[in-house]
């Protein structure tokens, strides 16, 4: 009668019924570990409270907590989604003999306090219509500015320098140079050089201007050391110490020229005068002091009292006492 025998007809419905029951139970079994979110946090709070209440030498509460956490592998969120959960960290702390109950309970308290923001909220959907409306506003409607001639020139120079260093040190080279830093340094040196050249010309005119103004005040009469000294004495008597300092300084330069100690030249700067007498340290020291006061008073508009002017006049007199060059 075949494999089923005579009882085959009555047995088949029973087997089908069992298969249906098993198939219906299986999905529930697969999701039996999914704990509702609220129940999950209550479980965490209960484990924490049990640890706080237990004696330190009572390990049963920790063993029970480990068993509970191992069993919970999934959480059912409020919207029905199933979210996996991993308690490996807490289980490791519970099994660590060096961690007391209070420390583990503190960790669980910190974890429990994060429940309001867990799981991470999803990002809101982008409102494309509002986004496009913002981008259509005039301030966002512009074309990139084309570089001007100088900008293009700088870009070409920069590219040429980079290409030069890349040829010297290719990609497989072990040497690495900060090309950007080198370009900044090169630009800084170039700017410093231009400024130094411009300032040199500007400062070079200072002494010439002082002499020209002095001659104009004298009605175009050629300026001599004696005439400049007399003018300084007149101005200081009247209280005009700033202009008196200028004439004292010019008189000292003219007298030093008369004695052959330096060459008076309007094109020379004050610092260049110092370099011309650098081989005479004593003279250079006094002249530097005289020049420093002159620069501060005449160009820096530093005020002088009567006593300070007398000190300056004494330094100029000391300068004039230098012996003639032989």
Residue 21 has pLDDT above 60, yes or no: no
227 φ/ψ angles, rounded to the nearest 5 degrees? -65, -40
Residue 94 has pLDDT above 80, yes or no: yes
The DSSP 8-state label assigned to residue 149 in this structure reads H
* Bridge-based pairing state of the strands 74-76 and 82-84: antiparallel
274: nearest Cα among 298, 290, 250: 290
| Percentage of the residues of the chain whose pLDDT score is greater than 90 | 11
Q: Region 166-187: what's the mean pLDDT?
A: 62
Q: Region 116-129: what's the mean pLDDT?
A: 62
Asked which of 195-199, 203-207, 243-247, 295-299 is least confident by mean pLDDT, the reply is 203-207
Encode pLDDT of 262-310 as tens digits.
Answer: 888 877 888 888 888 888 888 888 889 999 999 899 888 898 899 999 9
Most confident of 2-16, 102-116, 195-209, 210-224: 102-116
CA atoms within 13 A on the CB side of 292: 7
pTM score: 0.37
Q: Region 139-168: what's the mean pLDDT?
A: 78
Q: Region 215-228: what's the mean pLDDT?
A: 68
Residue 142 zone, left/alpha/beta (φ > 0; ψ -120 to 50; rest): beta
Q: Residue 43's pLDDT band (boundaries 50, 70, 90)?
A: very high
Average pLDDT, the chain: 76
What pLDDT does 216 receive? 53
Both tokens of residue 178? 């900060």
| Angstrom distance (rounded) from CA 235 to CA 213 | 15
What pLDDT does 18 receive? 44
What pLDDT does 221 receive? 60
The CATH code for residues 201-320 is 1.20.120
């Amino acid at each position: 009668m075949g494999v089923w025998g005579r009882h085959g007809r009555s047995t088949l419905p029973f087997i089908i019924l069992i298969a249906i029951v098993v198939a219906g139970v299986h999905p529930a079994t697969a999701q039996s570990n999914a704990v509702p979110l609220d129940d999950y946090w209550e479980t965490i709070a209960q484990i924490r409270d049990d640890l706080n209440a237990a004696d330190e030498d009572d390990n049963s509460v920790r063993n029970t907590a480990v068993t509970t956490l191992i069993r919970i592998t999934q959480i059912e969120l409020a919207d029905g989604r199933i979210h996996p959960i991993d308690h490996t960290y807490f289980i490791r702390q519970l099994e660590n003999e060096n961690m007391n109950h209070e420390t583990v309970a503190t960790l669980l308290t910190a974890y429990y306090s994060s429940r309001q923001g867990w799981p991470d909220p999803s990002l809101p959907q982008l409102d494309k219509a509002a986004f496009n409306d913002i981008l259509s506003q005039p301030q966002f409607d512009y074309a990139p500015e084309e570089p001007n001639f100088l900008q293009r020139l700088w870009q070409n120079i920069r590219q040429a320098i980079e290409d030069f260093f890349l040829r010297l040190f290719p990609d497989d080279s072990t040497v690495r140079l900060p090309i950007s830093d080198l370009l900044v340094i090169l630009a800084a040196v170039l700017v410093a050089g231009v400024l130094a050249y411009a300032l040199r010309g500007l400062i070079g005119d200072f002494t010439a201007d002082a002499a020209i103004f002095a001659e104009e005040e004298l009605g175009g009469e050629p300026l001599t050391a004696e005439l400049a000294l007399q003018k300084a004495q007149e101005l200081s008597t009247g209280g005009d110490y700033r202009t008196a300092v200028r004439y004292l300084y010019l008189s000292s330069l003219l007298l030093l020229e008369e004695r052959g100690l330096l060459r008076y030249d309007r094109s020379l700067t004050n610092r260049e005068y110092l370099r011309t007498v650098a081989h005479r340290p004593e003279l250079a020291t006094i002249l530097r002091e005289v020049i420093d006061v002159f620069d501060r008073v005449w160009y820096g508009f530093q005020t002088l009292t009567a006593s300070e002017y007398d000190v300056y006049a004494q330094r100029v007199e000391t300068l004039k006492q230098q012996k003639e060059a032989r």
